């Protein structure tokens, strides 16, 4: 039987995946656990091996990329400035959060007023897009409820969100992931917990606008100017980046430097698993350099 694989870094990599990697026209990178690690509020950040180098290599070759974090503690431009100080080659527009894809979707749907369960990281991008941000107090009217990182969440906030939904607002969540990667290990997110309470009380459907939704991938595609099938999505979470890549028929690349490890993706069926697995983005860079020769 013919072995259609290439030996690299002690593993056999499918030749078809390498061919697709060489044909990739744009990249979407996860942040926490893929390019860097910090604490639960994205402080004390440190780039992972190869992270700075791969962004510089892509920039030098004119290959567009986005860094997409499901975190909403900051607006995208603040994340971009923070990563710039660490040495990343990153224009503001290359940084994306669920607020980025939420704006993309909400403008399409004509929403004018959005109740925000989160801080400035969610509210500021909405305001910049001309959407009125509604505070989660009293019995507000809104077109949508947007849920993000919100450790300060109270029962009064929950009650306000319930009244907004009972009044006709659609509910959206930055993420439904249980955890995200930090230097201390797994840290519990807030979007899923708040969404569960809102859904239980109102019976509403909560739509995800961050990873792994197709809304997030399409927003990245439009921003990069690259077709979904010509993109690669790189991440450490088997519940986020790999499923999102498959939804857009993009190239799914898994790294083992965050939540994931060598066994984290083994439960996925072959047709839904990563097309390519590397230890980290340093190995991915070496593969890219090899394909470019």
Q: Which two tokens stand for residue 28?
A: 């979407």
Q: 128-157: per-residue pLDDT in tens?
A: 999 999 999 999 999 999 999 999 999 999
What structural domains and CATH numbers belong to the chain? 20-96+219-292 (3.40.50.1000), 99-208 (3.40.50.1000)
Q: Which two tokens stand for residue 260?
A: 């994931």
- DSSP code for 272: T
Residue 182: pLDDT over 70: no
Do the beta carbons of residue 206 and residue 198 sit within 8 Å? yes
For the whole model, what pTM was predicted?
A: 0.88
**Ordered DSSP codes for 79-147:** HHHHHHHHT----GGGEE-HHHHHHHHHHHHT--EEEEES-HHHHHHHHHTTPEEEPSSSS---SEEEE
Q: 93-134: per-residue pLDDT in tens?
A: 899 999 999 999 999 999 999 999 999 999 999 999 999 999
Spatial CA neighbour of 234 closest among 23, 30, 15, 26: 30
Q: 177 versus 173: which is more confidently predicted? A: 173
Q: 89 versus 159: which is more confidently predicted? A: 159
Looking at residue 188, what is its pLDDT?
Answer: 77
Q: 21-58: per-residue pLDDT in tens?
A: 999 999 999 998 999 987 555 567 889 999 999 999 99
Do the beta carbons of residue 116 and residue 88 sit within 8 Å? no
Rounded-to-integer distance, Cα 36 and Cα 258, Å: 9
């Amino acid at each position: 039987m013919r072995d259609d694989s290439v030996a690299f870094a002690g593993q056999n990599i499918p030749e078809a995946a390498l061919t697709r990697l060489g044909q990739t026209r744009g990249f979407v990178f996860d942040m926490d656990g893929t390019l860097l690690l910090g604490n639960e509020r994205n402080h004390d950040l440190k780039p992972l091996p190869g992270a700075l180098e791969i962004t510089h290599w892509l920039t030098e070759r004119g290959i567009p990329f986005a860094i997409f974090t499901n975190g909403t503690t900051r607006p995208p431009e603040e994340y971009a400035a923070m990563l710039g100080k660490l040495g990343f080659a990153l224009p503001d527009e290359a940084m994306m959060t669920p607020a980025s894809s939420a704006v993309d979707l909400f403008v399409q749907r004509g929403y004018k007023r959005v109740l925000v369960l989160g801080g400035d990281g969610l509210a500021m991008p909405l305001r910049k897009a001309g959407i009125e941000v509604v505070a989660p107090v009293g019995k507000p009217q809104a077109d949508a409820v947007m849920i993000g990182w919100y450790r300060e969440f109270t029962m009064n906030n929950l009650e306000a969100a319930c009244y907004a939904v009972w009044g006709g607002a659609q509910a959206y969540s930055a993420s439904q992931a249980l955890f995200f990667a930090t230097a201390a290990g797994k840290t519990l997110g807030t979007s899923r917990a708040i969404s569960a309470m809102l859904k239980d009380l109102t019976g509403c459907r909560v739509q995800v606008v961050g990873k792994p939704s197709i809304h997030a991938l399409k927003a990245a595609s439009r921003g990069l100017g690259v077709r979904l099938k010509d993109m690669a999505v790189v991440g450490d979470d088997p519940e986020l980046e790999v499923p999102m890549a498959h939804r857009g028929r993009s190239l799914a690349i898994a790294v083992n430097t965050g939540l994931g490890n060598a066994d984290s993706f083994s439960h996925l069926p072959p047709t839904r698993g990563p097309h390519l697995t590397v230890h980290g983005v340093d190995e991915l860079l070496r593969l890219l350099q090899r394909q470019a020769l």
